[in-house]
Amino acid sequence: MGFNKIQVELFYSNLTKLMADYGFPPSRIYNMDESGITTVPNKIPKVIAAKGKRSVNKVRSAESGQLITAVCCFSASGHYIPPATLMSGATPDSVLFVSESGYINSEIYMSFLKHFQNHAKANKESPVLLILDNHSSHCSLDAVLYCRKNNIDRLTIPPHSSHRTQPLDRCFFKALKDYYGEYCDHWLVNHPGRTITQDNVAEIFGCAYNKVCTIEKAVNAFRMCGIVPVNKFIFCDEDFLPATVTDQSVPNEETTHQQIEVEDAFFSREDDVPLKELP
């Protein structure tokens, strides 16, 4: 159904109720999400050359690249939980999280929740609201029970709305990937003949992350999504048009063919002049 108005209204209704019940300050409202990057960026960076020059050389890696999942989390006040990188085929002591596929799963998400709690320090006197998508790895029974036990209130965004209601997707990940691509390009220029591997990603990703993780970006991200401050009217009716369904019935194939035959009967094949008007 895409960006559905009913689901979005329900999300802001639940958000308003949570804010009324617990009064979360911006410093206790977090958004967590994952995004995939590769050792070889897919986006080809722009090359500056002299006007009129037709042949411009550019250093590019010939490898297809390996998938790496970046797990990021920040608050509406601009506090960033240290990011986690999830790699495939890595040794357990080389990165924070490891999985066979490079994608997050229920076990990895549980590890991240513990990592999150170590830094957010949610408790009964100061609970935390964690906003995230409804990926299956986020909805395991163990994760729900852990959050209840540690005073972490969860609120999932509506399906197919991450580009609108997810602060990290709205303002953070695109800039992060752009900077990551620039630093990969810089690394290749300074290391001729070498390719970027998982061993180099932590350094390159860290440079890009430190460049983009500003307080202003986090604050603006929550504001643009209508989460902090809560603004359930942040989206207008035009934003929901792709999810609307027309009331016009779809003509069946038989009716369409009959209509064409009737129209052809009233026109000449030679000059498209109505036959009834011919002398």
Q: What tens digit of pLDDT does each residue of 6-32 get? A: 999 999 999 999 999 999 999 999 999
Q: Could you tell me if residue 50 is inside a domain?
A: no
Residues 202 and 263 in one domain: no
Q: Could you tell me if residue 215 is inside a domain?
A: yes
Residues 266 and 236 in one domain: no
120 φ/ψ angles, rounded to the nearest 5 degrees: -80, -30
Per the structure, the complete domain to which residue 268 belongs is given by 251-277
Dist CA 168 CA 218 (whole Å): 8
Given this model, what pLDDT does residue 277 score?
54
114 in Cβ contact with 254 (< 8 Å): no
Residues 200 and 260 in one domain: no
Q: What is the CATH number of the domain that holds 224?
A: 3.30.420.10
Given this model, what pLDDT does residue 128 score?
98
Q: Could you tell me if residue 80 is inside a domain?
A: yes
72 φ/ψ angles, rounded to the nearest 5 degrees: -120, 155
pLDDT per residue as tens digits for the range 79-105: 999 998 877 544 343 335 555 555 678
Residues 230 and 258 in one domain: no
Residues 180 and 204 in one domain: yes
Q: Could you tell me if residue 172 is inside a domain?
A: yes
Write out residues in the chain with pLDDT < 70, as ranges.
Answer: 1-2, 41-65, 88-103, 245-279
- Measuring CA to CA, which residue among 2, 130, 1 is closest to residue 73? 130
Dist CA 52 CA 25 (whole Å): 56
Q: What's this model's pTM, rounded to 2 decimal places? A: 0.78
Given this model, what pLDDT does residue 93 score?
36
Q: Could you tell me if residue 53 is inside a domain?
A: no
Both structure tokens of 270: 């030679």
Residues 218 and 261 in one domain: no
